[in-house]
Structure 1
Amino acid sequence: MKNLLLTLLLGLACLTAAAQQSCDWEELYDELYAAGEESQAVREENLEILSALAAHPVPLNTASREDLERIPFLTAEQIEELQAYVYRYHGMRTLGELALIESLDAVRRQLLPYFVCIAPAAEQGIFPSLKNILTHAKHTLLFTSRIPFYRREGDRNGYLGYPYAHSFRYAFRDGDYVQAGLVGAQDPGEPFFAHGNNLGYDHYSFYVLIRKMGRLKTLAAGRYRISFGQGLVINNTFGLGKTGLLTTLGRQPAGIRAHSSRSADGYLQGAAATVEVARHTDLTAFLSYRTVDAVLSDSGTVRTLPKNGYHRTEREMSHKDAAAQLAAGTHLGWTCGALRMGLTGVFSRFSRELTPSTSLYYRRYAPSGNDFWNVSVDYSYLHHRWSMGGETATDSRGNLATANRLSFQPVSCLSLLAAQRYYGYRYTALFARSSGDNASVQNESGLLVGAEWKVARGLSIMGYTDLAYFSHPRPGAHTASKAWDNLAVLAYIYKRWSLRVRYRVRIREKDNAGRTALVRELTQRGRLSLSYAAASWNFRSQIDFAASRYLRRSTGYMFTETGTWQPAAWLSLTATAGYFHTADFSSRIYVYERGPLYAFSFPAFYGRGVRCGLFARADLSRRLMLILRSSTTRYFDRDTIASGLQQISSSTMSDLDVQLRWKF
């Protein structure tokens, strides 16, 4: 109770004071994609990519098309217009000129300055020598820890390690040419220098990335991620779901990226390179070998491949590195003016045979065997009024998947999109990730139609409707089923005021209580937020609601107040206070909270209670930064939180996050 009162008093003090110069890009990212269906792991991966871009913005006046394509929320048309403006007017003098790019909506006009900069052309030259790299490179060391003021059941009996989460990051960088780094991460309950983690941290990631070295466009060694086409064969870099499909008009970021994340899943390990083999023709090749977590059967085959990366108990430790995976692939890309075409091939082999249990109806067509391969053809064409693109892929058994989209801009203020997808129910691609209603690229066909309309300066409306059909059983439905997803978003920005309204309604067919027939699950989620930003402070008032109807009704709401104050150039304070009241987990509410660097905080709240938090960032010097965040959740409807080894024997849960960054 003391922690709750302390956090609440500090939060209210900050709210009633005057609060930051402008909202952070994480908040704008949340506004753009909060209605998306991507998982927490995918959100964290997205945050890693955007955080790296924010730390090292793209110089607009010297950026190539490939450089601008690294900014994942831009459409192909916006990239084209940015380059045309720079060429026509011989560069931008200030970022204020972004207001002259007609295709940029109000939110992206606010978001883009965090990821681009104005740098003179003289700063861009040929690839530096080794001596210059070692002399001018910048180093960053980041330590992060979370200290809980509670004990879970597993901390008393079950977990092998202590309850604290901590990590470190070391990054070495010379401009846009050379990057290298090492990451170590430990989740709560995981052993440290004990029980099999003899090297200390449970997860390490190491990487080297070289760019713009003549014909060698990109070279990665260590751990990395790759994406091509629409992601039907391989995409483990960036995912924004259906919301991102609409906001980017179907453009999918492609190429090689370093894996600098805490995430222990989805990366490749080895080497990858993109080389310009001829004019307008690039060849990418990669080779990867890594161990993976696996649940083994009595005969030594693989039953399932856990993705959460947790190794807290003896059982979870027994799954660690239980199998190995070899992967290799190539992509040949050809560009001719506005036309792009690509050919992708990927092969993968497991050291142990995959033998998933097919007793569960929705796992009947889960990947099985040792060897897997996929081949695809992708294309895109860009016109100043319209664009089209897509990918068609096949697997080793001849099963097909295809995704195609067409966008049209009849006038500068209106963009229309139609996107079709068909993923065969037997189609298997281990590294695939694309838009859809399912979590995997399998057993789904659908059509999404959407529009984005800039009604007037500062006012925009975005929405889509998406129909999906599943020809075979999926989780929650024992037979063929359908889904209908609809989203509408209104954003209005006037001077220092911002008003945003979002409403989403989703209808899915699911099993009834006796699993004898299908019934409809209706889920509605809405948000109304109003914010004001002054020179040194801002505030935001927000109302969220959720309603679900499946077997029984469930409704909920949450009121949230957030304020930020920057009393000095080196100090920033943010306070959050919220009250939530929902019937159960079905009507849970998700709310963005400002957190430490590289940690996207998007918790879910259900039941009845209050949430309070205080965030402080102090740039103690040009090289040293300190972040502290205290957060408390107090429930009024329960005496324990969670269950099993995660159970907390209290109605209050408080944490303290500490982060220290040193640049040298």
Structure 2
Amino acid sequence: MKKGEIDMEQFVEELFSMQGNEGDYDEQYESLLQILLNPIHLNKTSPEELKSLYILSPVQINNFFEYKRLFGNLLSIYELQAIPEFDLETIYKLLPFVTLDENLKPKSSLLEKIPNEKDAYFIFRQQRVWETRRGFTAPDTLNGRITSRYLGDPNSLYGRFRIQHSKDFSLGFTVDKDPGEVFKWDRKTNRYGFNFLSYHFTMYNRGKWKAISIGDYQMQFGQGLVFGAGFSAGKGSETITTIRRSNLGIRPYTAALESGFFRGISATYKTGPIHLTMMASNAPRDGNLHISPMDTSENQTEIITSLQTSGLHRTPTEISYKNRLREKNLGGNLHFQSRKKHFQLGINSLWTQFSQPFFRTERIYNSFEFSGKNNHIHSLYFAYNFQNYFFFGETAISASRGTGSILGMMSSLHPKLSLSVLWRFYDRNFHTFYGNSFSENSRSINENGIYIGIHFKPNQKFNWSYYYDRFHFPWLRYRVYAPSSGHEWLTRLSFSPSKKTLLFFQLREESKARNISEYQGFQSSYLLDQGLKRNFVVNLDQRVDKVWSFKSRVTASSFQFGGKKTRGFAISQDVNIDKEKWRISSRFVLFDTEDFDNRQFIYERNVLWLFSIPFLNGQGLRYYFLAQYKISPKLSIWARYSRTLYTDREFIGTGLQQISGNRITESVLQLRYQFNR
């Protein structure tokens, strides 16, 4: 790995809980990469910016600003070594995200700078599964009807154009076509060539206007109860810094996910210690519409029965969902920061209106979910830094009168010992559409709990981290038809005898309730049993020299439910080569799991801007090869080939995604052209 570059694999595995549920991490990964593309200037930064990296502890941040107070601005990046508690491991993690380059300040007008900006590029990516899924075969008849099939080809296509200058401006667009979607210009079905188009133009630091954004954007203020976009890792082996959300303000939206962003205009104005942000959005959304069963009038009323967030438009049914409704948002933020930057106080407000009323199919577990046409949510948040203690919190109330609250603390009790504590409470009728606060659930609703994290580093060679999270769900949930409780804990012990070697052991336990009726034999829908899952990981990273490096890993798990215990494991070996213009990565994995609950998650390297944590379930072998070659200063190419071979099945997947056979093969080809290199 070249100096100043991030070891993305190690960084991601520390921040994300690798043995968690499969989720769509693309937006989180995208937000992390935006920080990499907009490095923080160490002589112009604030404690809030440094906290947003999830790298520095409270005592390290305090020592950084105390050093600057005593000795003035940093003259060299290597001066970080002179700051107390800044060890080499921390500095190496920090380097890719920071800069001292004064050339970041533009010296010409915006119109003159855009055509000559160094950070200007276009990326094009093609991705494909080579085995034929059922959705791409000829239709057959089922119950006298012709079954549905995908209308497009199996290729996934992605393109991104962007020109940006850190803390100055950013403009660009992203286009995306998923497998099975067809290129077609058809206004009746809201299709215009590529299935998805995202675009933005954002300016920063224009006098008192700190940010002005037009197009697609996100916002992050407080602890994510109202505006929760951006990078938020949650629970992982980094047990201290990841519990808190940072005030990152307005951020351009550049991901290919087709929901979770605003489309319109937003701006932040600064006057003294006050930042005022206003936003307005009118965005199309996918949804399933039906005629209200209660409406017997001639002009019948349509209602929304479900929002579709997959972004897939492959079949006539999926196409019928596209852009069927509009979502309007109007909101703002008022943020105060003290002169010494140790205290923050803010207010968030967001009003949301759907073009049709929203009424879900009624189930007991979703009785308190949002319904209607309008929602509004408001919150008050604070952050206070006292010596090596950092306190933060936010409380919010939605139109339903449901409330959500977070209160947390991070502390460096000793240069070698850190502690974090976080309490959260979300009512069963608390409704937030753009929140992304700390929670066990994927959404901030129907949950309360307390989290405690510890990090101990006795010397440069050893690291020990631990967290315990106790949570309770006061109302029913999907597949859990009674109030329930659970807990989760994780511990990791790392040993690094040199910069070239890292060995760690990790153990994680999670206890959650489920309906007993999911398993064989008739049971009451309201009887629960506690599922207990344990994961174990042992990992060895070894860098032989500047060219060769290896990673060996063993993961294992067990799951106990209903008096039955099942197990699973995976063994993987990586070989990586980094030489001049070439980067080559490879991995071979053997896996064997008794059921889906023991599926194994292992982060995989992929092409730039593509995130991959596949789950391995069943018995088989998986391998991949990834190559990157820098053809010229302007042009780079990536190619990836991966295959999973199963020994326990003749079909892979279900429905239209089903493959006849025991293997699945995928390729990725990506080109990046940098215009002004």
CA distance in 1, matches of 2:515, 2:87: 41
| Pair 1:297 & 2:277 matched | no
- Give the Å deviation of 1:239: 2.5
Match of 1:247 among 232, 240, 247: 240
CA gap of 1:136–1:90, structure 2 versus 1, over 3 A, is farther
Letter in 2 for 1:617: Q
Match of 1:527 among 524, 537, 551: 537
CA gap of 1:544–1:415, structure 2 versus 1, over 3 A, is same
CA gap of 1:107–1:611, structure 2 versus 1, over 3 A, is farther
Quote the residue 1:417 is aligned against.
420
- Give the Å deviation of 1:104: 5.7
- Give the Å deviation of 1:25: 2.9
Quote the residue 2:177 is aligned against.
186
| Pair 1:354 & 2:384 matched | no
Cα-to-partner distance string for 1:60-93 (whole Å, 9 max, x where unaligned): 2343456545535555554443344345444445
| Pair 1:281 & 2:277 matched | no
Aligned-pair identity (%): 24
Quote the residue 1:13 is aligned against.
none
Match of 1:211 among 196, 204, 208: 204
Match of 2:113 among 130, 133, 138: 133
CA gap of 1:92–1:173, structure 2 versus 1, over 3 A, is same
- For structure 1, the residue ranges without an aligned partner over 5 or more in a row are 1-18
CA distance in 2, matches of 1:244, 1:219: 36
Matches within 5 A, 1:617-656: 617-656=628-667
Quote the residue 2:348 is aligned against.
344
| Pair 1:455 & 2:467 matched | no
CA distance in 1, matches of 2:574, 2:6: 13
Cα-to-partner distance string for 1:318-368 (whole Å, 9 max, x where unaligned): 111111100011111111231111011111100010101222x22111110
CA gap of 1:183–1:358, structure 2 versus 1, over 3 A, is same
For the residue of structure 2 that corresponds to 1:645, the secondary structure is helix
- Give the Å deviation of 1:94: 5.0
Match of 2:376 among 356, 373, 378: 373
Letter in 2 for 1:186: K
| Pair 1:149 & 2:133 matched | no
CA distance in 2, matches of 1:631, 1:249: 32
With 191-200 and 533-542 compared, the bigger mean Cα shift is at 191-200
CA gap of 1:260–1:189, structure 2 versus 1, over 3 A, is same
Aligned pairs, how many?
Answer: 641
- Give the Å deviation of 1:244: 8.4
For the residue of structure 2 that corresponds to 1:637, the secondary structure is coil
- 8 Å CA contact 1:36–1:241 kept in 2: the answer is no
- Give the Å deviation of 1:298: 3.0
- Give the Å deviation of 1:564: 0.8
CA distance in 1, matches of 2:172, 2:14: 30
Letter in 1 for 2:287: A
| Pair 1:548 & 2:559 matched | yes
- Give the Å deviation of 1:516: 4.0
Quote the residue 2:468 is aligned against.
465
Match of 1:593 among 575, 589, 604: 604
CA distance in 2, matches of 1:532, 1:201: 43
CA distance in 1, matches of 2:598, 2:510: 13
- Give the Å deviation of 1:238: 2.5
CA distance in 2, matches of 1:203, 1:244: 35
Matches within 5 A, 1:354-503: 354-359=358-363, 361-495=364-498, 496-503=500-507
CA distance in 2, matches of 1:204, 1:75: 39
CA gap of 1:127–1:482, structure 2 versus 1, over 3 A, is farther
- 8 Å CA contact 2:634–2:673 kept in 1: the answer is yes
Quote the residue 1:559 is aligned against.
571
Letter in 1 for 2:383: S
Match of 2:229 among 225, 230, 236: 236
When the two chains are superposed, the root-mean-square deviation of aligned CA atoms in Å is: 2.3
- 8 Å CA contact 2:104–2:165 kept in 1: the answer is no
CA distance in 2, matches of 1:106, 1:445: 38
Letter in 1 for 2:169: V
- Give the Å deviation of 1:504: 0.8
Quote the residue 2:296 is aligned against.
none
For the residue of structure 2 that corresponds to 1:474, the secondary structure is coil
- 8 Å CA contact 2:410–2:421 kept in 1: the answer is yes
Cα-to-partner distance string for 1:405-450 (whole Å, 9 max, x where unaligned): 1223221111111111111111111211211111211111111111
Quote the residue 1:44 is aligned against.
26
Letter in 2 for 1:253: S
Match of 1:333 among 332, 335, 341: 335
For the residue of structure 2 that corresponds to 1:47, the secondary structure is helix
With 372-381 and 19-28 compared, the bigger mean Cα shift is at 19-28
CA distance in 2, matches of 1:244, 1:237: 20
For the residue of structure 1 that corresponds to 2:443, the secondary structure is coil
CA distance in 1, matches of 2:238, 2:356: 36
CA gap of 1:102–1:242, structure 2 versus 1, over 3 A, is farther
Quote the residue 2:295 is aligned against.
none
Matches within 5 A, 1:316-327: 316-327=318-329
For the residue of structure 2 that corresponds to 1:473, the secondary structure is coil
For the residue of structure 1 that corresponds to 2:63, the secondary structure is helix
- Give the Å deviation of 1:526: 1.7
CA distance in 1, matches of 2:572, 2:167: 40
CA distance in 2, matches of 1:25, 1:352: 47
- 8 Å CA contact 1:21–1:536 kept in 2: the answer is no
For the residue of structure 1 that corresponds to 2:291, the secondary structure is coil
TM-score between the two structures when normalised by the length of structure 2? 0.90
- 8 Å CA contact 1:32–1:107 kept in 2: the answer is no
CA distance in 1, matches of 2:227, 2:509: 30
CA gap of 1:329–1:367, structure 2 versus 1, over 3 A, is same
For the residue of structure 2 that corresponds to 1:417, the secondary structure is strand
Quote the residue 1:9 is aligned against.
none
- 8 Å CA contact 2:354–2:373 kept in 1: the answer is yes
- For structure 2, the residue ranges without an aligned partner over 5 or more in a row are 140-148, 293-301, 518-522
For the residue of structure 2 that corresponds to 1:46, the secondary structure is helix
With 185-194 and 651-660 compared, the bigger mean Cα shift is at 185-194
Quote the residue 1:271 is aligned against.
265
- Give the Å deviation of 1:622: 0.7
Letter in 1 for 2:650: D
| Pair 1:161 & 2:152 matched | yes
- Give the Å deviation of 1:31: 2.2
CA gap of 1:164–1:153, structure 2 versus 1, over 3 A, is same
Matches within 5 A, 1:112-131: 112-119=94-101, 121=102, 123-125=103-105, 128-131=108-111
For the residue of structure 2 that corresponds to 1:241, the secondary structure is coil
- Give the Å deviation of 1:659: 0.4
CA gap of 1:413–1:239, structure 2 versus 1, over 3 A, is same
- 8 Å CA contact 2:17–2:235 kept in 1: the answer is no
Cα-to-partner distance string for 1:557-594 (whole Å, 9 max, x where unaligned): 10111111123x11111111110111121100011111
CA distance in 2, matches of 1:416, 1:573: 39
| Pair 1:511 & 2:492 matched | no
CA distance in 2, matches of 1:528, 1:37: 13
